Amino acid sequence: MNTVYLDNAATTRIAPEVLEAMLPFLKGEFGNPSSFHSFGSSQMEAIEKARGQVARLLGARSEEIYFTSGGTESDNQALRGAVKIDPDRKGIVTSAVEHPAVLETAKALEDEGCTLGVADVNNNGELDLDSLRELVNDKTAIVSIMAANNETGVIMPLKEAAEIAHKAGALFHTDAVQLVGKSPVDVHSLDIDLLSLSAHKLHGPKGVGVIYIKKGIELPPILTGGHQEKGVRSGTYNAPGIVGLGKAAELALTHLKDTVARERSLRESFEKRVLESCPGAFIVADDAANRLPGTVTVIFRGIESEAVLTLLDMQGIYASSGSACSTGSKNPSHVLYAMGVDYTQANSALRFSLSRYTTEEEIDRVVDLLSVVVERLRRISPYSE
């Protein structure tokens, strides 16, 4: 059976070039990069090359890139590190639609004595800058606003949010896990202090990521130990993963323009045809000013998303209901809730996320099948109008 993978916001396939770059470090070149002997230490060259590749993708300097185990760790380090810098600044301000890697960490820090402010979003899932402004003050250590939302694809106003943080003397962090590789990012022109990214969202391997730390900021570590990464992140280097991330970053930059154009055109055609062929469907955040090129959440009124997902799955089509990348939780999405979507509609939400490998034929197949599945479920649904 031919499968169609439209769950790229959860994770992506490894690009063949990435796998090829990683293989030597999974086979013969297994030494520890921190070893004194040349068998291990020669790998530092490949690690430094990867650092440069990631830096170029972000418009950063190589020395501002620190390798971690992924987005979750980078988010943790940003928040947990920031509240340790100044004893008079223990405030965290974030938004209601963040990934749990930020929201749950912020709540855990609140339990440990920090203060927490959560800014609102509007019905389109866009950050309410006035709400953010009201929460940030001279006790705020860090403002953390995601670059793009993993469920709706809505892109946030980073420059404006960074300005609000900086006016109050706070650090500005962005979880850019969903945006990097899907839109140009320039950390210096956006005035970002800390940024998280994850390799497996951009056709790299799982379990490796980066925290960008602007030069001059001394962010306390959360992992102490062997002093790798200038003591900012201890732990034996994941050389295959880091090399894979570097290659994935290089490819993301090379393909950026094409990826954006291609995914946007496929997504727009998908949305138009789904709305035409599935009565009662609507696009979440349809009127947002700025969305990711290839991520869309559709609500199929009156139908349980899990029923649609199961029928699609049986035909080899893989999508997701809401925030699948934060476990198989059955709770309605906090993102949709924050946008004012009611419980029943939130249970009818399906996310489709494309990649640079998605083809027109795949989109055709999904649209055709969706209309059949939705029609069939609508006929048997007790909630259907």
Contact mark string toward ligand PLP, 143..162, x via CB under 6 A = ---x---x------------
Angle 251-352-192 from CA coordinates, rounded to 5°: 50
CA distance 73 to 199: 13
Q: What residues between 186 and 245 interact with ligand PLP by CB under 6 A?
A: 198, 209
Exactly one of 325, 335, 341, 346 binds ligand PLP (CB under 6 A); which one? 325
List active site positions.
Answer: 325
Site for ligand PLP in 100-139 (CB under 6 A): 101
Stretch that binds ligand PLP, among 65-73, 219-227, 275-283, 373-381 (CB under 6 A): 65-73
72 binds ligand PLP (CB under 6 A): yes
Quote the tokens at residue 369. Answer: 């099948």
Place of tokens 């390798």: 67
Calpha distance 326→314 (Å, rounded)? 23
Tokens of 263: 């995914």
Distance (Å, whole) CA 36 – CA 238: 17
The residue among 101 and 242 lying less far from ligand PLP, judged by its C-beta, is: 101
**CB closer to ligand PLP, 81 vs 302:** 81
- Helix, strand, coil shares of the chain, percent, nearest 5, are 45, 15, 40
Q: How far is the CB of 339 from ligand PLP (least distance, A)?
A: 16
Q: How many residues bind ligand PLP (CB under 6 A)?
A: 14
| Type of residue found at 284 | V
Q: Helix 239-277 crosses helix 43-58 at what angle (to 10 degrees)?
A: 30
Look at the block and give the residue holding tokens 């029923």. 307
Q: Which stretch binds ligand PLP (CB under 6 A): 59-67, 71-79, 237-245, 330-338?
A: 71-79
Would strands 281-283 and 295-300 be described as parallel, antiparallel, or unpaired? antiparallel
CB of 105 to ligand PLP, least distance (A): 10
Let me know how long the chain is.
385
Binding segment for ligand PLP among 64-72, 267-275, 279-287, 359-367 (CB under 6 A)?
64-72
Give yes or no for a contact between 55 and 250, defined as CB atoms under 8 angstroms apart: no
Comparing CB distances to ligand PLP, the nearer of 89 and 196 is 196
Q: Does 99 bind ligand PLP (CB under 6 A)?
A: yes
* Residue ranges that bind ligand PLP, judged by CB under 6 A: 70-72, 75, 99, 101, 146, 150, 175, 177-178, 198, 209, 325
